[in-house]
A and B are shown apart, each in its own frame.
Chain A
Amino acid sequence: MTELHLMTVAELSASLRSGAISSVELTRAFLARIERHQRELNAFITVSPDRALAEATRADERLRAGRGGALTGIPIAHKDIFCTRDEKTTCGSRMLANFISPYDATVVQRLREAGVVCLGKTNMDEFAMGSSNETSWFGPVRNPWDTARVPGGSSGGSAAAVAARLAPAATGTDTGGSIRQPAALCGLTGIKPTYGRVSRYGMIAFASSLDQAGVFALSAEDAALLLSAMAGFDERDSTSVELPVPDYVAELAQPLKGLKIGVLREFFQGLEAPIEELIRTALDALHAQGAVLKEVSLPHLPLSVPTYYVVAPAECSSNLARFDGVRYGYRCEKPRDLADLYQRSRGEGFGAEVKRRIMIGTYVLSAGYYDAYYLKAQQVRALIAADFERAFHEVDVVIGPTTPTTAFALGAKTQDPVTMYLNDIYTIGANLAGLPALSVPCGFAGELPVGLQIVGPHFAEGRLLNVAHQYQRESDWHLRVPRGFG
């Protein structure tokens, strides 16, 4: 039998239900791996062995009673942006370094109800602001493919954990690419669903109109299994959509014959040659399965980075106002008065990137600047969404690269925020338009994985997973294991 940590969730699920393995055994195996590799990768902020084993014990009882579901007993990790009851939820920030959440996020609760075991909480860029996981108060995460390089961000801990097989799957959030970019840089399958598909309740807000929860997994099939449990309307999130959740697993088998793929012209501008080659090769593979390729253009897409860096900071400047040192979280020592309490608690509690974005956001919403920045950005956002909508009249999905480069070296871009922001150039469009998008491994440039991005119309998660799954039936990039983590 394959070693447990190399198995997919689908395989583990079958073994758990057949009784070939127990959840406790599985959980112990992953906890041991976390212990062995945590220092090297720094993928976790919190590891919860006792709690995980207690959950695994309960899962085993259900499995033995024949009441196990597809995810019963499967250990996973949660990005530390999701509130987990009675546990530390830090959001990668000093501000919440000691914050114990009194409640579970809807995503956490739904996965718990589906029987998953939570191994711990993964590292992330502070308040999900970053593309390299270097803004975390808890230190950077390292990429298992090359520990001198970043895993991507902001969900870098989740990506590194799954890539290093410290967990078979993990949750993440994606505001401008924070699932897809690290999935690409770590060689994983990562999906950001349609805005409104998964509840945001209990997910600490960065930019409310863009944030969406999703998953990292080894395969599209595993992502489908997890997303099925996470998705769906939640009355506690007014922006979640009241639509039934389709059976994503059942949709996987659909052949690609006749699928119309839009090849995004704008996605190939400024792309490194080895990456472009891999993307073209993957497109050929899909074509060989019967898909039709058609070049499409989204003329406003090149404006997505500046648009995003107005909208997201504007929302974050307001969302992060609640961290004021009054009710919970970091409070400065001996505040002299109210202004001092605010200034020092926030000044000491937030890191540089968070402060930069709060300042940008405050600026663009200010009287006299609102129309020129925020309002203009919302108008451009509508144009980008309209571009996509037009494209989806012609094609079923659009495909391109996930990132312009492979994983870069730690520290390479930290001094230049704009270069860092440009790493999200291909992913941000889907967030601005609220569209589902996923990244799937499509080869290696040198030693480093490259991601293929598939974007679909609203609520087409099933179709995206189907395309990825059919691609993965004919390729094995997604099953490659970084050296030293096999």
Chain B
Amino acid sequence: MAWDSVIGLEIHAQLSTRSKIFSGSATTYGAAPNAQANLVDLAYPGVLPVLNAEAVRMAVKFGLAINARVARRSVFARKNYFYPDLPKGYQISQYELPIVSGGAVDIVLEDGVVRRIGITRAHLEEDAGKSLHEGLAGLTAVDLNRAGTPLIEIVSEPHLYSAREAVAYLKKIHTLVRYLGICDGNMQEGSFRCDANVSVKPRGSEKLGTRAEIKNVNSFRYVERAINYEIARQIELIEGGGKVVQETRLYDPDRGETRSMRTKEEANDYRYFPDPDLLPLEIDQPYIDAVAATLPELPDQKAQRLMSEYSLSPYDAGVLTTSMELADYFEVVVRDLGGQPKLAANTVMGELSGLLNRDGVDISQSRISPGSLARLLARVVDNTISGKIAKDVLEAMWDEGREADAIIEARGLKQITDESAIEAAIDRALAANPAQLADYRAGKEKLFGFFIGQVMKATGGKANPARLNELLKKKLGG
């Protein structure tokens, strides 16, 4: 039997405000335990929450960026449950009336097909603290530094049909929140994380299957693996005559599997009700307009512009706009180079990205400035060096921190364009390999490449490839 999988994601993005959503404590990551928890965060008797206006502004920004409705009136509600890292015994969230609802983003699938993924809602809420168990010999320690950090929870429609689509959507939101400057996107520190609702149904069936929710998966790779594991598990279960139960499951990255955390029957009844300590949040049009005026060029708009301005392919434009910094870097290279967008795009997406990945840094930490890269590429354009040599120079620039010209000069990498020099090298190569020459003349044309290689070897790769090609043809033909 063929099966369809249906996935919806709930993404939690920590908003990069300086202070918490309902208290004045700092939100910096990595402080000593409980150093950033004041009386409000500790839920002392008598304290009250006060909403952080900056968190609201960021949520509105997000709503506008996904073309959603920004509610003129939204309501904070209490989600009640007991846990040591939840000091009030309830989390302040939004339930019936979220600040953002009914938006969408487009994702581009590998085959180039664009799909629009609906976003049901995005609401403001506070993060919980952390319970620590490791190294405490059966005890639990509570760190409330994170308690009260502002979050937006972004809930997608069940419009994702594979793990890959889910990851593409997750990456899209990841890109978007960083463009908007509302979340640092750091998945390791937990400032961007997601839960996945996964179900399967017989192919073509309208009715959705029972879903399992996979909690807190903290990397793109794990999201893909966890969903694929879960889809396979559910199909195997049903085909074996079993039934999927509605439950919450945890992904174990070490074992690459999900396992049951609690079933629906064990689930909390959160007893949501409007928080009487906070008035409904009212937002007017002038406020929304003012926030709209601060929106940067968004990834889709930027990709469109790169395509029309630089004639880039949708794929290249998509890759370059995954981060605003990467796109900016590309544009500076093209500007300094005075054109050659394809060359610039290939180098940035290819060799430069390779070096960034090798050292595990992002574009903002690149050891080669866009200006330096443009000066390197200018040497390719003016035929001083070949594209192949340029790769070596780029690596040397990265490792040594020197400019392209200095490296070309010091290593004598300047390309040989002088015809007589190239001709001399060809003559030497032909003379040194009489047998191959005879074979070539007898019709073994593949040996053309052999002679190119010989000349390149002799010139240290510096012979201008186009010129060499042309001259070798002439000699062999003669």
Seen from chain A, the residues whose Cβ lies within 8 Å of a Cβ on chain B are 82-83, 89, 91, 96, 99, 101-103, 105, 200-205, 207-209, 235-239, 314-315, 317-318, 320-324, 326-329, 338, 342, 362, 365-367, 370, 374
Contacts and interface: CB of A to CB of B under 8 A. Distances in A.
Nearest to B83: A338
Nearest to A378: B274
Given A318-B89, A318-B271, A365 B46 contact: no
A324 B84 CA distance: 8
Contact of B276 (A83, A208, A327, A329): A208
B88 A89 contact: no
A314 B140 CA distance: 30
Given A236-B48, A238-B278, A327-B87, A318 B43 contact: no
A200 B48 contact: yes
B45 interface: yes
Contacts of A365: 80, 271-273
A322 B88 contact: yes
Contact of B80 (A82, A89, A321, A326): A321
22 contacts: A101-B46, A103-B44, A105-B46, A205-B46, A235-B50, A236-B50, A237-B48, A318-B78, A318-B80, A318-B90, A321-B80, A322-B87, A322-B89, A324-B84, A329-B45, A338-B84, A338-B140, A342-B82, A365-B271, A365-B272, A365-B273, A370-B273
B137 to A, nearest CB: 15
B252 interface: no
Interface of B: 39, 42-51, 78, 80, 82, 84, 87-90, 140, 142, 269, 271-273, 276-279
Contacts of B84: 324, 326, 338
Contacts of B43: 322, 327
Contact of A99 (B45, B90, B279): B45
Nearest to B79: A318
A320 B271 CA distance: 14
Contacts of B276: 207-209, 239, 315
- Please provide the 6 A-B residue pairs with the shortest distance between their CB atoms, ordered closest to farther: A321-B89, A209-B276, A365-B271, A208-B276, A322-B43, A202-B46
Nearest to B273: A365
Contacts of B42: 327
A322 B81 CA distance: 10
Given A321-B82, A362-B271, A366-B269, A201 B47 contact: yes
B87 A204 contact: no
B90 A321 contact: yes
A204 B48 contact: no
Contacts of A202: 46-47
B273 A328 contact: no
B244 to A, nearest CB: 22
Nearest to A102: B39
Given A238-B49, A322-B87, A327-B87, A208 B44 contact: no
Contacts of B51: 238
Contacts of A99: 45
A72 B82 CA distance: 45
Given A209-B276, A239-B277, A239-B279, A83 B269 contact: no
B283 to A, nearest CB: 15
A324 B47 contact: no
Nearest to B24: A236
A374 B273 contact: yes
Q: Which of B44, B88, B279 has the most CB of A within 10 A?
A: B44
Contact of B279 (A204, A238, A320, A329): A238
B45 A204 contact: yes
A324 B82 contact: yes
Contacts of A322: 43, 45, 87-89
B8 to A, nearest CB: 21
B50 to A, nearest CB: 6
Nearest to B90: A318
Nearest to A81: B46
A324 B89 contact: yes
Contacts of A91: 45
B47 A318 contact: no
B269 A367 contact: yes
Contacts of B39: 102-103
A332 to B, nearest CB: 15
Nearest to B142: A326
A207 B275 CA distance: 11
Nearest to A362: B271
Contacts of A318: 78, 80, 89-90, 271, 273
A236 B50 CA distance: 6
Q: Which of A89, A237, A321, A366 has the most CB of B within 10 A?
A: A321
Nearest to B88: A322
A141 B184 CA distance: 57
A328 B47 CA distance: 14
A370 B78 CA distance: 14
Contacts of A326: 84, 87, 142
Given A321-B88, A324-B89, A96 B45 contact: yes
Contacts of B78: 318
Contacts of B48: 200-201, 236-238
B213 to A, nearest CB: 17
A182 B279 CA distance: 30
Contacts of A323: 45
A91 B142 CA distance: 26
A326 B85 CA distance: 10
Given A82-B46, A103-B44, 19 more contacts: A83-B45, A102-B44, A204-B46, A236-B48, A238-B279, A320-B89, A321-B82, A322-B89, A324-B89, A326-B142, A327-B87, A328-B45, A338-B84, A338-B140, A342-B82, A362-B271, A365-B80, A370-B271, A370-B273
A289 B112 CA distance: 86
A238 B50 contact: yes
B45 A89 contact: yes
A235 B49 CA distance: 10
A195 B111 CA distance: 61
A373 to B, nearest CB: 11
Contacts of B50: 235-236, 238
A369 B278 CA distance: 24
B82 A101 contact: no
A83 B89 contact: no
Contacts of A314: 273
A205 B142 CA distance: 24
A327 B48 CA distance: 17
Nearest to A210: B276
B76 to A, nearest CB: 10
B366 to A, nearest CB: 45
A102 B46 CA distance: 11
A103 B42 CA distance: 13
A203 B271 CA distance: 24
Nearest to A83: B46
A366 B273 CA distance: 10
B17 to A, nearest CB: 17
A91 B46 CA distance: 11
Contacts of B271: 317-318, 362, 365-367, 370
B131 to A, nearest CB: 10
Contacts of A82: 46
Contacts of B44: 83, 101-103, 328
B46 A201 contact: yes
A267 to B, nearest CB: 27
A322 B47 CA distance: 11
Q: Which of A236, A318, A367 has the most CB of B within 10 A?
A: A318
Nearest to A200: B48
Nearest to A325: B84
B139 to A, nearest CB: 11
Contacts of A200: 46, 48
Contacts of B88: 321-322
Contacts of B279: 238-239
Contacts of A327: 42-43, 87
Contacts of B278: 238-239
Nearest to B37: A327
A203 B48 CA distance: 10
